[in-house]
Amino acid sequence: MARIILTHGLIAGLVIIAGVIGTVAISGGEPHGNVWLGYLIMLLGMSAVFMGIKRHRDTHGGGVIRFLPALGVGLGIALFASIAYVLVWEMYLAATGYVFMDQYTAATLEARRAEGLSGEAYRQLEARMRNAVEAYRSPFYRLPLTFVEIFPVGLVVSIVSAVLLSNSRLLPARARS
């Protein structure tokens, strides 16, 4: 089971990382493009959770797996992929001089100004964004925030996959109870 978790977690992590790097490259180096595209890439990468649970069911369970073991395999894969995502994000930040939040803040403020936001509302947004930049400098804030960005996707995919792939009908009646 550990091998399946590591293998499929690595696959999920690589797909997500490659997708993020690809979108950053296409967008001219700006990692704060389309949020929906980012989550679509995460969902695509987390499809390895489904494949990993199915592989475990078919190779180690003879086509049979109960919900909780299936969920455990899925969560293991999602956890491994999420940690890989966090580590690669940290490497990206270090390689770019930790300028992401400054760039993100400037782009957000410029977009809101272009939408017509001004006056006190703009100043309040600017103050909130500056506070976010300060908080993001701390790894104790940044690391859990990055993890929470991706792990819920893996959690949902794990639950759905466990429901779809769990199959106890082939177990003897004594083992089902």
State pLDDT tens for residues 53-64: 999 999 988 889
Kindly state whether residue 32 falls inside one of the protein's structural domains: yes
CB 37, CB 23: distance < 8 Å: yes
CA distances from 26 to 21, 35, 54, 79, 94 (A): 9, 15, 34, 28, 21
Residues 80 and 48 in one domain: yes
The whole-chain average pLDDT of the chain stands at 89
> pLDDT above 70 covers what percent of the chain?
91
Residues 89 and 162 in one domain: yes
Residues 8 and 36 in one domain: yes
- Residue 167, SS3? strand
Indicate whether 173 pLDDT > 60.
no
* 87 vs 1 pLDDT, higher one: 87
Residue 162 to residue 74: CA distance in whole angstroms = 7
- For residue 115, what are the domain limits? 99-136
Kindly state whether residue 146 falls inside one of the protein's structural domains: no
Task: Work out whether the CA dihedral 91, 95, 98, 104 comes out positive or negative.
Answer: negative
Q: What is the mean pLDDT of residues 35-44?
A: 88
Residue 69 to residue 50: CA distance in whole angstroms = 13
Residues 103 and 18 in one domain: no
Kindly state whether residue 141 falls inside one of the protein's structural domains: no
Residues 82 and 158 in one domain: yes
Of the pLDDT bands very low, low, confident and very high (cuts 50, 70, 90), residue 116 is very high
Residue 34 to residue 47: CA distance in whole angstroms = 20
Instruction: Enter the pTM of the model.
Output: 0.83
> Which pLDDT score, from 0 to 100, does residue 176 have?
47
Residues 65 and 126 in one domain: no
Kindly state whether residue 48 falls inside one of the protein's structural domains: yes
Q: What is the mean pLDDT of residues 79-90?
A: 92
Residues 56 and 6 in one domain: yes
Indicate whether 138 pLDDT > 60.
yes
Give the residue from 157, 149, 156, 151 showing the smallest Cα distance to 35: 149
Kindly state whether residue 111 falls inside one of the protein's structural domains: yes
Kindly state whether residue 47 falls inside one of the protein's structural domains: yes
Work out how many domains the chain is built from and give that number. Answer: 2
> Which pLDDT score, from 0 to 100, does residue 103 have?
87
> Which pLDDT score, from 0 to 100, does residue 28 have?
65
> Which pLDDT score, from 0 to 100, does residue 171 have?
53
Of the pLDDT bands very low, low, confident and very high (cuts 50, 70, 90), residue 170 is low
Kindly state whether residue 29 falls inside one of the protein's structural domains: yes
> Which pLDDT score, from 0 to 100, does residue 177 have?
42
Residues 36 and 116 in one domain: no
Give the residue from 162, 169, 177, 17 showing the smallest Cα distance to 82: 17
Provide the angle, in degrees to the nearest 10, between the axes of the packed helices 35-45 and 139-165: 50
Kindly state whether residue 75 falls inside one of the protein's structural domains: yes
Q: What is the mean pLDDT of residues 133-153?
A: 95
> Which pLDDT score, from 0 to 100, does residue 31 have?
57
Residues 19 and 76 in one domain: yes
Residues 18 and 86 in one domain: yes
> Which pLDDT score, from 0 to 100, does residue 172 have?
54
Residues 107 and 36 in one domain: no
Residues 78 and 57 in one domain: yes
